[in-house]
Amino acid sequence: MPCGRYGAIAVSGPTSPGPSTSITDHSLPKENLVPPSPRVWLPERRRSGAGILAAGLTALALITVRGPFTAMTAADISVVALLVHLVVYLAITLLAFSAATESEIRAWAERDSRGTVLQRYVLGTAPGPGASLFIATVALIVAVLWLPANNSPALQGHPRVAVGVALVAIAWLSVLVSFAVTFHADNILEDGTALAFPDDARPRWADYIYFAVSVMTTFGTTDVTVQSTDMRQTVSFNAVIAFVFNTVTVAALVSAVSG
């Protein structure tokens, strides 16, 4: 070992890199990467609000764009915007209730009362069909009146029929899903005693979809037993809405195909 004027120079083992050579992890904390809970999308107003925002942006884009869409009339833009709204609402609703846990849905649904007719079927401030039912009804009426007009240079022939049929179909599906949400919430409010499913197990989201499909297509409850007056009122209202929608839907489709 070499020695200098000031004595031997000690040689240590491999030195660890100093602060200047250390590798710093600049990634975000793991908790910030966790996606938000589906519970945030359970309230009707948030789902309808997302649909309204998407519809507004679509209408704005169609108004300002230049090209083949320039010739679209105000009625055309309104129909496309309604279609976008219902598609976004339907997608968010299906994803939210499919992914949410039973406890999250229960926390959202539990309340002191069912709310007024206005709150349940128009405003969406109480769990129920809410604004989606109102908008779906408007969409159905608009489609029936808009489809035969055929006075737009931008949407004629098969494209017009495709948009009209899609609007009618999505409106029908939106009513079905919105009532599935209503049955789910109301059954939770009555501690699971309002509806009796044949397997006696705690019903899941798929069971309420099944029940809503039964009411929308057969106007009956099939193998599910309705056990409360309040739930019978909701089922009756759904059956009436389903009858009107099915009648108008068939008439619109026949008119579109024959026209």
C-alpha to C-alpha distances, 205 to 105, 149, 177, 212, nearest whole angstrom:
10, 40, 10, 11
CA distance 177 to 172: 9
Of 37, 149, 131, nearest in space to 86 by CA: 131
pTM: 0.76
d(CA 207, CA 49): 27
Query: What's the residue count for the chain?
Result: 259
Q: What is the mean pLDDT of the chain?
A: 78
User: How is residue 226 written in tokens?
Assistant: 């309705």
**Residue linked to tokens 């020695």:** 3
Q: How much of the chain, in percent, has pLDDT values that exceed 90?
A: 26
Q: Which amino acid is at 3?
A: C
Query: pLDDT for 42-67, tens place per residue?
Result: 887 888 889 999 999 999 998 887 66
**Whether the predicted pLDDT of 11 surpasses 50:** no
Copy the structure tokens of residue 42. Answer: 């359970």
Residue 90 has, within 13 A of its CA and on its CB side, a CA count of 20
Q: Tokens 């009146």, residue?
A: 145
Whole-angstrom CA distances from 57 to 50, 60, 81, 85 are: 11, 5, 8, 10
pLDDT digits (tens, 9 = 90+) for 179-235: 998 899 889 888 889 999 988 778 989 999 999 999 999 888 889 999 999 899 889
Name the token pair of 83. Answer: 């279609």
